[in-house]
Structure 1
Amino acid sequence: MRTRTIGLLNRRYLPRWAVLMLDVLICLASFVLAYLILDGTPLKFQNVWPTPLRALFILGINVFFFYIFRTYAGIVRHSTFTDVFRVAAASFFTAITVVTYNTTYYFFQGEKIFLTTAVILYMFFSFTLMLFFRIAVKEAYQYIRRMNTAKIKKRVLIVGMDNQTINLGRALTSESDQAFQLIGFISDDNSTKRLNVLGKPVFLTSIKKDSKEFSSLLEKHRIDGVLMVRDSLSVAETNEIVEACLANKIQVFNMPSVENWNQKQDLQTQIKHIEIEDLLDRYPIEIDSAIIKNDLEHKTILVTGGAGSIGSEIVRQLSLFNPRKIVVLDNAESALYEMELYLENNFPDLKFASVLADVRNIDRLEMIFATYKFDIVFHAAAYKHVPIIEKNPYEAVGVNISGTINLANLAVQHGIDKFVMISTDKAVNPTNVMGASKRAAEMYVQSLQEKIGTHTRFITTRFGNVLGSNGSVIPHFRKQIEAGGPVTVTHKDIIRYFMTIPEACQLVLQAGTMGKGGEIFIFDMGKPVRILDMAERMIKLSGFQPYKDIDIKITGLRPGEKLYEELLSETAESLPTFHSKIMVSKVPTEDFYKVSEKIQAIVKATNQNKKTEVVLKIKELVPEYISQNSEYQFLDIQHQN
């Protein structure tokens, strides 16, 4: 029954010809009605034309104006004032035309065809009945739609009793087309006992995984889901609620706080399933905006890799600090174009330039530096995917090492004040080519800082995985779940640190204000997360059971992959800064000329098309680089022997 009703609602079951025919029948009925009413009065019909001919004539005129005003063009169930106006115009001009013809005939022949009163009555009845027909269809459709929607709405409870949740409840109850039916509120505050809010009960219960009272409440009221205002709850509270809901096999929905509602979107699109990102043990990052603004305001800034995950967020955050100009440099044409459109739409007053270029092309970079005269460079351009780079070490050298050298040298030549490089925790005791190439880049800028005559301040920021970045694990798992599985995890014990993209970029900007030159700043990444646990939880949040509805397969560590990442090497020490989330790593600095000589050997090896030789030269520069799960492990064995 539900399928049939939905089908009826979704199809245009009154095509144009049917609307036209119904209107003609209404007009015919109106003519008959006018005739019957006047037949018993002293007013007498003219006998020049027989009654059927008069009916055919007036209906023909009416159909002509139906065509002129396209009264049949709209969908009846969605009739608007415009549709009503068209019907009124068709009726009015029909009457005017008939009366005009009637008067003209009388002028030439001395007698009338139509009774003027009959024409006016016909116009009144035809318009009224056609209007009533449209209103009746529209109201019937809305009634069926409301009845059908009520059957398929999710029955939800709102967690908490405060202004935020009451406003959310009011929005749900006042908009009939929502996909949610509010059953009531849940509170553990005794003062709310026996309260009714917005005509809905407040249930006094504690939401816990093993709470029989909560389970009984869900079963009694046939609850499909729980809705919460995430911003008003701590991570621990959110996790507790989610665990209880998953244990009872109901869905969990998330809504932003009232002040963060997007007024351009309807409420329903802003209510979303709770995501794994909301459950990770993250805490708000506090930054000193005044110091950052003083550092960035009225500056011309280059962001390399500016269309990538990290680079684009750096650009967004820089845009808030009134820079003179931002130059967004990237070699990905489509992504750069999307970034350009985003900035035009969201920062109309921002002065920026989109530059399609490759950091490996020194001649192109020289032209760009000469044109824009940068004050600050944020270097986020890099190849970062471990398995791909493990197979293609030449590209790691070209982008991660040579690209960084090109930019760093130009920064010194052009007297740029500050160069902030985005590095990675994979550069610490690297086990893969990607991490080793980033460590090589770190070593170069650190040694360049110590070179006599270097006035540019080189600052390196190092952090772990960022949530939601291109190619990261969470979007990958999400796609696998949507495809029905299996979800693939490389090792049952693998763990990772996670940080959101905005968090990481906020700390990059803050660290940029601290640097005196030559430092490596590391970020507090919070608690590490077991990837298998994350996969299981994501499956549950999607409404499935791990290993039953969607399988999880352990595929084995990928080439160069570690079980866990480190933020500090054994030879480094960390010192606190004024920001609790940022530490500075004291890493020994190598001699510039020795580093440069070894890097030249690496670059030379790439020109010989011998990737093993390339990796060997990288290992000579970065002695702590020990390959794991990699084809290059034999190089370490040879070195040990």
Structure 2
Amino acid sequence: MILETLLALPRNVKKTFFVIHDILVIFAAFWFTQSLKASYSQEWFSSANWLAFAATAGLTILLFVRLGLYRAVTRYVSTKVLTTAVLGSMISALLFFISVLIFEQRLRLALPVAYFLMLVVLIAGSRVMLRTLLSGRQTQQMTPVIIYGAGQSGRQLLEAIKQVSEYHAIAFVDDNPKIQRTVIYDLPVHRPSEIGALIQRYGVEKILLAIPSANSEERKTLLQRLEPYPCEVLAIPGMKDLVDGKINVSSLKKISVVDLLGRDPVAPRPELMGADINAKVVMVTGAGGSIGSELCRQIIRQQPAKLILFELSEFSLYSIDKELREYQAENGMNIEILPLLGSVQHRRRLFSVMQAYGVQTVYHAAAYKHVPMVEFNTIEGVRNNIYGTLFCAQAAIEAAVETFVLISTDKAVRPTNTMGASKRMAELVLQALAAEPGQTTRFCMVRFGNVLGSSGSVVPVFEKQIAAGGPVTLTHAEITRYFMTIPEAAQLVIQAGAMGKGGDVFVLDMGESVRIIDLAKQMIRLSGLEIKDEAHPDGDIAIEVTGLRPGEKLYEELLIGDAVEHTTHPRIMTANEVMLPWVTLSDILERMDQACRQSNQMTLRQLLQEAPTGFNPKDDICDLVWQQTHQAV
């Protein structure tokens, strides 16, 4: 209570207390030194001694003020403050020597040395003790943390931590045996095997990763090692922040799923990235979506002549247009960006845009991709995904577009849902158009799996559920998915498009498939939380299995057949998939259009199965309007 009252006092009052403290310290040092004289009993009555003390004390206090000793905040006493105290004590010892020589007319060389030692111990020691007291009191209210990595970034992070009252670092941990058992900035460096003991001893709640130079595989291995500990794991962003000197507490971020996957992106090839973009007029449909917007970010870096953003959602269009214009301003670019509202189901609108601006390259990302939503709205899903692609491709042919790239999905392979079947039909449309005699527009499609952070991704859902205290829900304990980051997917789409010859079906190497339940468990544990189950009824977050949703598969594939060929890019393959000639496919499309107009769900499903899509639905028709109508009947 007394300490709280003192800390609450105004700064000037606390400075006054320090001045009084230092006067008393000088008094003790002065008279201790005088006690070393043989005639000590008479020294108290000597006016010369009192004059010498008054001169020494007064000049020393003025000296300390001049050196800035009273400007330092005691709880943050640093080496500089202690150096100032030593320097001040040395000069004070000289003042003591001169004062005694003037007022006592006697010279004893040993006395200034004793005075200096006594003064420096009391001045510096009292401040160190007070700092220790205040730091101990403060650290009781702070979160104890371990810094993993005792290199330059770890030391920078420690300095940043000292400036805030949120974390209290209790130790470094490092894999390098050369620095283990050493002390860096007052913190011991421990082996990774000692983390468990440190957590138990100090009640550590967070582990801060300061290893920005580690590659993805190394980070994945490290996170697997840290996963069993009941601590949240945070990390500094990367090497750029280290180089820029921007490492601070606010830059710490939660471990992302990218770190858990351990996948290093392959550096994009400049010649492929710019082949269909540089100095060309480029159009992106669905430009405001997760894939479309990232395509726009990658495209603008390749310096197109014009970039047309074609989007149905006004807000999404506004957002990506604003972002790209800000990026241009920051980087001194002068690329014409054209935000255009429109639907890919309006062929004349598409043609007028392509013709007016002389579009040379189209990236068709506009689609309905959420499996249950398309199951509940079958006709709209078919209209948008199949006929939206058809109209966009026909407009491109009519407007003499050079290159047309379709963003496809792994769900188009042996689909069990309407969304996947509609995307496979979109592929068949492009394959058929590409095979037409005299075709000048180069069509190709790129097939890949889930992208992290997209509108349909499970990852942001898990993050929200964990933040809300759970439960984390997944549809099946054995469900698996492929994952890729949005930037890597967009780069590979652009590069694959540049490699296409016409009618190509490109497949991206997605790496190993991931069990979603394992992903959920890792995200929970690395958030510093415990999984709540039968073995741990007092855990924090439960995992609930809700059952497969309409049209959902346990696992996805990237190839229909085994006919796959490698390309010159290690992450891009090409598949030889079955196709239909345009004359045959167009007949199916006409009948499918008629079924959509009549809301004939049964015929529509039969036609999707009649085409070589591999469509094998596991559920009855789930379209909500169709169900409501038939229930009424």
Q: Say whether the fold is shared (TM-score over 0.5).
A: yes
- CA gap of 1:225–1:368, structure 2 versus 1, over 3 A, is same
- CA gap of 1:619–1:289, structure 2 versus 1, over 3 A, is same
Measure, in 2, the Cα distance between the counterparts of 1:162 and 1:440.
Answer: 54
Measure, in 2, the Cα distance between the counterparts of 1:551 and 1:581.
Answer: 37
Q: Determine the structure 2 residue equivalent to 1:108.
A: none
Q: Determine the structure 1 residue equivalent to 2:167.
A: 180
Using the TM superposition, name which of 233-242 and 335-344 deviates more: 233-242
Measure, in 1, the Cα distance between the counterparts of 2:555 and 2:258.
Answer: 20
| Candidates 570, 591, 606, aligned match of 2:581 | 591
8 Å contact kept, 1:230–1:256 = no
User: Which secondary structure state, in structure 2, belongs to the residue aligned with residue 479 of structure 1?
Assistant: helix
Q: Within 5 Å, give how 1:14-25 maps onto structure 2.
A: none
Matched, 1:631 2:621: yes
| Candidates 546, 549, 554, aligned match of 2:540 | 549
8 Å contact kept, 1:612–1:632 = no
- CA gap of 1:198–1:407, structure 2 versus 1, over 3 A, is same
8 Å contact kept, 1:170–1:198 = no
- CA gap of 1:484–1:183, structure 2 versus 1, over 3 A, is closer
Give the AA of the match of 2:266: I
Deviations 1:90-144 (A, max 9, x none): xxxxxxxxxxxxxxxxxxxxxxxxxxxxxxxxxxxxxxxxxxxxxxxxxxxx999
Q: Determine the structure 2 residue equivalent to 1:270.
A: 251
Measure, in 2, the Cα distance between the counterparts of 1:147 and 1:289.
Answer: 55
Q: Determine the structure 1 residue equivalent to 2:436.
A: 451
| Candidates 463, 466, 478, aligned match of 2:463 | 478
Q: Determine the structure 2 residue equivalent to 1:327.
A: 308
Matched, 1:521 2:510: no
Measure, in 1, the Cα distance between the counterparts of 2:604 and 2:188.
Answer: 70
Q: Determine the structure 2 residue equivalent to 1:152.
A: 141
Using the TM superposition, name which of 518-527 and 610-619 deviates more: 610-619
Q: Within 5 Å, give how 1:226-375 maps onto structure 2.
A: 226-229=207-210, 231-260=212-241, 267-348=248-329, 349=333, 350-375=335-360
Using the TM superposition, name which of 527-536 and 340-349 deviates more: 340-349
Measure, in 2, the Cα distance between the counterparts of 1:313 and 1:324.
Answer: 18
User: Which secondary structure state, in structure 1, belongs to the residue aligned with residue 456 of structure 2?
Assistant: coil
CA apart distance, 1:276? 2.9
Q: Determine the structure 2 residue equivalent to 1:63.
A: none
Structure with the bigger RCO (C-alpha within 8 Å, sep 6+) is 2
Measure, in 1, the Cα distance between the counterparts of 2:526 and 2:343.
Answer: 41
User: Which secondary structure state, in structure 2, belongs to the residue aligned with residue 365 of structure 1?
Assistant: helix
Q: Determine the structure 2 residue equivalent to 1:133.
A: none
Deviations 1:212-255 (A, max 9, x none): x3322333344332211353224454344434444231221111
Q: Determine the structure 2 residue equivalent to 1:164.
A: 153
Deviations 1:505-540 (A, max 9, x none): 111111111111110000110111111111222222
Measure, in 1, the Cα distance between the counterparts of 2:257 and 2:565.
Answer: 32
Q: Determine the structure 1 residue equivalent to 2:525.
A: 540
Measure, in 1, the Cα distance between the counterparts of 2:146 and 2:299.
Answer: 40
Q: Determine the structure 2 residue equivalent to 1:605.
A: 595
Measure, in 1, the Cα distance between the counterparts of 2:245 and 2:589.
Answer: 53
8 Å contact kept, 1:261–1:270 = no
- CA gap of 1:178–1:303, structure 2 versus 1, over 3 A, is farther
Give the AA of the match of 2:544: K
8 Å contact kept, 2:290–2:455 = yes
Measure, in 2, the Cα distance between the counterparts of 1:241 and 1:292.
Answer: 33
- CA gap of 1:416–1:145, structure 2 versus 1, over 3 A, is farther
How many residues are matched? 490
User: Which secondary structure state, in structure 2, belongs to the residue aligned with residue 488 of structure 1?
Assistant: strand
Measure, in 2, the Cα distance between the counterparts of 1:372 and 1:145.
Answer: 69
Measure, in 2, the Cα distance between the counterparts of 1:178 and 1:305.
Answer: 46
| Aligned-pair Cα RMSD in Å | 2.8
Using the TM superposition, name which of 218-227 and 549-558 deviates more: 218-227
8 Å contact kept, 1:460–1:519 = yes
8 Å contact kept, 1:436–1:622 = no
- CA gap of 1:221–1:144, structure 2 versus 1, over 3 A, is closer
| Candidates 558, 575, 581, aligned match of 1:567 | 558
Measure, in 1, the Cα distance between the counterparts of 2:620 and 2:262.
Answer: 33
- CA gap of 1:553–1:217, structure 2 versus 1, over 3 A, is closer
Deviations 1:178-235 (A, max 9, x none): 62223332123232144332333222x1x3xxx4x33223333443322113532244
Matched, 1:192 2:179: yes
Matched, 1:411 2:396: yes
User: Which secondary structure state, in structure 2, belongs to the residue aligned with residue 191 of structure 1?
Assistant: coil
- CA gap of 1:229–1:601, structure 2 versus 1, over 3 A, is farther
User: Which secondary structure state, in structure 2, belongs to the residue aligned with residue 584 of structure 1?
Assistant: strand
Matched, 1:388 2:373: yes
- CA gap of 1:193–1:478, structure 2 versus 1, over 3 A, is closer
CA apart distance, 1:145? 11
User: Which secondary structure state, in structure 2, belongs to the residue aligned with residue 335 of structure 1?
Assistant: helix
- CA gap of 1:356–1:146, structure 2 versus 1, over 3 A, is farther
8 Å contact kept, 2:551–2:618 = yes
Q: Determine the structure 2 residue equivalent to 1:50.
A: none
Measure, in 2, the Cα distance between the counterparts of 1:159 and 1:200.
Answer: 12
Measure, in 2, the Cα distance between the counterparts of 1:164 and 1:286.
Answer: 25
- CA gap of 1:236–1:219, structure 2 versus 1, over 3 A, is farther
Measure, in 1, the Cα distance between the counterparts of 2:529 and 2:230.
Answer: 9
Measure, in 1, the Cα distance between the counterparts of 2:606 and 2:137.
Answer: 69
CA apart distance, 1:153? 2.7
Structure 2, gaps ≥5 residues long: 11-130, 533-538, 624-633
8 Å contact kept, 2:217–2:263 = no
Measure, in 2, the Cα distance between the counterparts of 1:441 and 1:604.
Answer: 17
User: Which secondary structure state, in structure 2, belongs to the residue aligned with residue 152 of structure 1?
Assistant: coil
Measure, in 1, the Cα distance between the counterparts of 2:608 and 2:597.
Answer: 14
CA apart distance, 1:541? 2.3
Using the TM superposition, name which of 531-540 and 181-190 deviates more: 181-190
8 Å contact kept, 1:301–1:374 = yes
- CA gap of 1:526–1:486, structure 2 versus 1, over 3 A, is same
Measure, in 2, the Cα distance between the counterparts of 1:422 and 1:218.
Answer: 47
Matched, 1:495 2:485: no
Measure, in 2, the Cα distance between the counterparts of 1:620 and 1:258.
Answer: 54
Measure, in 1, the Cα distance between the counterparts of 2:276 and 2:340.
Answer: 24
Q: Determine the structure 1 residue equivalent to 2:79.
A: none
Matched, 1:618 2:608: yes
Q: Determine the structure 2 residue equivalent to 1:428.
A: 413
- CA gap of 1:193–1:467, structure 2 versus 1, over 3 A, is closer
Measure, in 2, the Cα distance between the counterparts of 1:396 and 1:254.
Answer: 41
Measure, in 2, the Cα distance between the counterparts of 1:513 and 1:145.
Answer: 64
- CA gap of 1:577–1:216, structure 2 versus 1, over 3 A, is same
Give the AA of the match of 1:601: R
- CA gap of 1:301–1:553, structure 2 versus 1, over 3 A, is same
User: Which secondary structure state, in structure 1, belongs to the residue aligned with residue 362 of structure 2?
Assistant: strand
8 Å contact kept, 2:470–2:542 = yes
% identical equivalent positions:
37
8 Å contact kept, 2:217–2:264 = no
- CA gap of 1:294–1:450, structure 2 versus 1, over 3 A, is closer
Deviations 1:406-435 (A, max 9, x none): 110111111111001000011111111000
